[in-house]
Amino acid sequence: MIAHIDMGSSPEERRKAAIFLIRKCCITLGGYKKEKIYGLLSCSSGKRMKVENRVFFKNEVEAITNGYRPCGHCMKEKYEQWKTAKNK
């Protein structure tokens, strides 16, 4: 999980570090650590969360390995697959 990288303590430092890592393709997904949800960086739900609740992942495998589930808003198909598998 990318969250272990020191991205700074202020929101501005974290924003700059995230932009750098996104451009370097080290980050492809964002997550909400309180509910353990991951989704696209462009997700409107993800953009509304507080900075201190954000985590970042290189890929889906990393998010799933860390116990996160797909976002029902920006990843509807994967969320439905996760929900179906969970209810079996």
Q: Look up the domain containing 14 and give its range.
A: 2-86
Q: Is the pTM of this model over 0.85?
A: no
Q: How does DSSP classify residue 56?
A: E
Strand ranges for 1-88 from DSSP E: 29-32, 37-40, 54-57, 69-70
CATH number at residue 8: 3.40.10.10
pLDDT digits (tens, 9 = 90+) for 3-13: 445 677 787 88
Question: Residue 49: its pLDDT value, please?
Answer: 86
- Please, what is the average pLDDT of the chain? 87
Into how many domains does the chain fold?
Answer: 1
Q: Which residues contact 68 (CB under 8 A, 6 or more apart)?
A: 31, 36, 37, 38, 57
Q: Which of 29, 50, 47, 48 is nearest to 38 (CA)?
A: 29
pLDDT single digits (tens) 69-88? 999 999 999 999 999 998 87
